[in-house]
Amino acid sequence: MKKNRILIFDTTLRDGEQCPGASMTLREKLEVARQLARLKVDVIEGGFPVISEGDFTAVNTIAREITGSTIAGLARCVPRDIEAAGKAVAPAGKRGRIHVFLATSKLHREFKLGKAQSQIIKLAVDGVTRARKLVADVEFSPEDASRTEPDFLVEVCQAAVDAGATTVNIPDTVGWAVPGQFGELIGHLHGSVPEFRSGKAVISVHCHNDLGLAVANSLAAVEAGARQVECTVNGIGERAGNAALEEVVMALKTRGDVYTGYTCGVKAKQIVKASKLVARMSGLPVQRSKAIVGENAFAHSSGIHQDGIIKKRETYEIMDPEDVGWGQTELPLTKHSGRAAMAMRLRHLGFKLTDDEITSVFSRFKEIGDKKKFVYDDDLGALVDGQMTKVPETWVMEYLNVTSGNHTVPTATVRLCKAATGRSRKETVLEDAGVGDGPVDASLKAIDRLTETSGRLKDYAIRAVSQGKDALGEVSVKVDFGDGDLVTGKGASTDIIEASAKAYLNAVNRYLNNGRRKKKPRKTNGQP
């Protein structure tokens, strides 16, 4: 590796997915991983293999199908975790990485682990040694490193490197650090561990955004000697999230006068596409004012700004929006467009679908095409999203009729079909009506009655997918079915009531599909 090459370690599929309600299916994770590979990130952390069968399968599938990037699996310094991670990343061969972690701060040692410093070092060495027997590429993270005594942190890092760690990651696990102090800590480690200076081992950083300083801390660390930055697309993740990949990358590329000589292999023109895909797959929309990828990031409403932009773009823009993927020409399709034209457009957008899936999307494309004049790229994305978010459908909506008005009690009639299961060879078709505060509320109550579930709507978001009065409406919901876990559902239609009902039914099907499985442990305790 070049001395000043900054490696981008993407943890969208692991830390990013830990955001409540952001859980993705295997298919959604695979699509995100493919886009991350097109983005040319150096490392993709696919998940925490031991935590659930779903995480193991996701990491294992990504390791089999994704080429180019290193594929990492997370593990505690516990034999069972490490063995699971090793099996999960095995298909990646030499590109497989095991990322082991262990808490090191005094607070965690005393109150969580009940371990002395010497015991922590032994556990770290044992973990790295065991992982190194399975893969050549091992990363070690001293959890809560930013609150660990600096001299003890040096001991832990040196011990991990001596045991065979090729990367040592310094996590600001709770977002406590500030740039000056964090930079000093990284500089202290760089100066104290010879392998960091020689390049035999890489210092990495993993910063959380609790104080809004994740990107600033990451960049301060780069200046102090860090050569890998762990981040997520759109900055999603635990609590306030992680350092945003797009912000870190574009800061390095845009401010070359400050970050002189540093290189980064990320293909910036893929950033906006990655942002939109992650927002769709995770159900976490990007705020309009978000740097780089927000809809307002390159919008100018002030007349003075507009005049300056017209005369010379650089007067009010420090980046060319096209450099990150904004403003690329798209040719909208119409209802007269054929299956081949739609399939070609989907391939251009980066989606990899089977023939059956293309047929299914084309059927919905024709339905949408009959309702609106043009079908834009974002409309296609929403249709594919509907295909990706499909789970085994316990219930399918066949009919929805709503009456509502300012002098009418909002009423919804819903007909659902339940597929044949077990000994039953017949489909079950049920119909019921519900009343509510509005047409959406009435529809959801009718669905609850028919499916014998009781969900509390904790979050509801709707957005116009594309332009025009006939735009496709995309609804995302987060629902609590009584166990405290939020289940995400998504639906799209030119009718926002129908989109709302589809999104809620999608959440119901997810809940019913997962409810009989062993519940996945919460992934908030003991991670970088």
Cα of first residue to Cα of last residue in the chain, in angstroms, is: 25
With a pLDDT cut of 90, the percent of the chain lying above it is 64
Q: How confident is the model at residue 390 (pLDDT cuts 50, 70, 90)?
A: low
Cα–Cα distance, 35 to 277 (Å, whole number) = 8
The residue assigned the tokens 């239609």 is 493
With a pLDDT cut of 70, the percent of the chain lying above it is 91
Which has more confidence, 465 or 89? 89
Which has more confidence, 382 or 179? 179
- Which one-letter amino acid corresponds to residue 52? S
Tokens representing residue 107 in the block? 């607070």
201 has a pLDDT exceeding 80: yes
How do 473-480 and 456-464 pair as beta strands? antiparallel
Tens digit of each residue's pLDDT (9 = 90 or more) over 87-131:
999 999 999 999 999 999 999 999 999 999 999 999 999 999 999
**pLDDT score, position 115:** 94
Burial state string for 250-284 with b = 16 or more CB within 10 A and e = fewer than 16:
bbbbbeeeebeebebebebebbbbbbbbbbbbbbb
What phi-psi label fits residue 64: left (phi over 0), alpha (psi between -120 and 50 degrees) or beta?
alpha
Which has more confidence, 189 or 347? 189
Tokens representing residue 482 in the block? 């009584």
522 has a pLDDT exceeding 70: no
Give the helix/strand (H/E) hosting 408. Answer: strand 408-418
Which of 30-44, 105-119, 250-264, 479-493 has the weakest average pLDDT? Answer: 479-493
Cα–Cα distance, 267 to 290 (Å, whole number) = 20
**CB proximity list for 60: less than 8 A, separation 6 or greater:** 49, 87, 88, 89, 90, 91
**pLDDT score, position 330:** 59
Assess contact for 66 and 31: CB atoms under 8 A. Answer: no
**pLDDT score, position 518:** 39
Nearest C-alpha neighbor of 410 from the set 500, 505, 497: 497
Nearest C-alpha neighbor of 135 from the set 200, 88, 77: 88
Cα–Cα distance, 409 to 442 (Å, whole number) = 10
Cα–Cα distance, 3 to 227 (Å, whole number) = 8
The number of CA neighbours under 13 Å toward the Cβ of 444 is: 24
Phi, psi of 119 (to 5 degrees): -70, -40
Cα–Cα distance, 352 to 296 (Å, whole number) = 30
Record the pTM. 0.84
236 has a pLDDT exceeding 90: yes
Full 3-state SS string of 169-189: EEEECCCCCCHHHHHHHHHHH
Q: How confident is the model at residue 310 (pLDDT cuts 50, 70, 90)?
A: low
Q: Is 82 exposed, middle or buried (0-12, 13-18, 19+ CB in 10 A)?
A: buried
Burial state string for 143-163 with b = 16 or more CB within 10 A and e = fewer than 16:
bbbbbbeeebbbbbbbbbbeb
Q: Is 350 exposed, middle or buried (0-12, 13-18, 19+ CB in 10 A)?
A: middle
Q: How confident is the model at residue 8 (pLDDT cuts 50, 70, 90)?
A: very high
317 has a pLDDT exceeding 70: yes
Tens digit of each residue's pLDDT (9 = 90 or more) over 340-372:
888 888 888 888 888 988 998 998 888 888 888
**Residues 146, 237, 260, CA angle at the centre, nearest 5°?**
60
If you ran DSSP here, which 8-state letter would residue 518 be given? P
Q: Average pLDDT of 138-148?
A: 98
Tens digit of each residue's pLDDT (9 = 90 or more) over 42-54:
999 999 999 999 9
**Which regions of 126-265 does DSSP assign to beta strands (E)?**
137-143, 167-172, 202-207, 228-231
Nearest C-alpha neighbor of 128 from the set 84, 167, 88, 70: 167
- Which one-letter amino acid corresponds to residue 373? K
The number of CA neighbours under 13 Å toward the Cβ of 69 is: 30
Tens digit of each residue's pLDDT (9 = 90 or more) over 203-228:
999 999 999 999 999 999 999 999 99
Tens digit of each residue's pLDDT (9 = 90 or more) over 10-32:
999 999 988 876 778 898 999 99
Strands of the 456-464 sheet, one edge to the other: 456-464, 473-480, 486-493
Average pLDDT, the chain: 89
Nearest C-alpha neighbor of 233 from the set 290, 174, 274: 274
**pLDDT score, position 389:** 63
Cα–Cα distance, 236 to 208 (Å, whole number) = 10
Tens digit of each residue's pLDDT (9 = 90 or more) over 414-444:
999 986 665 555 678 999 999 999 999 999 9
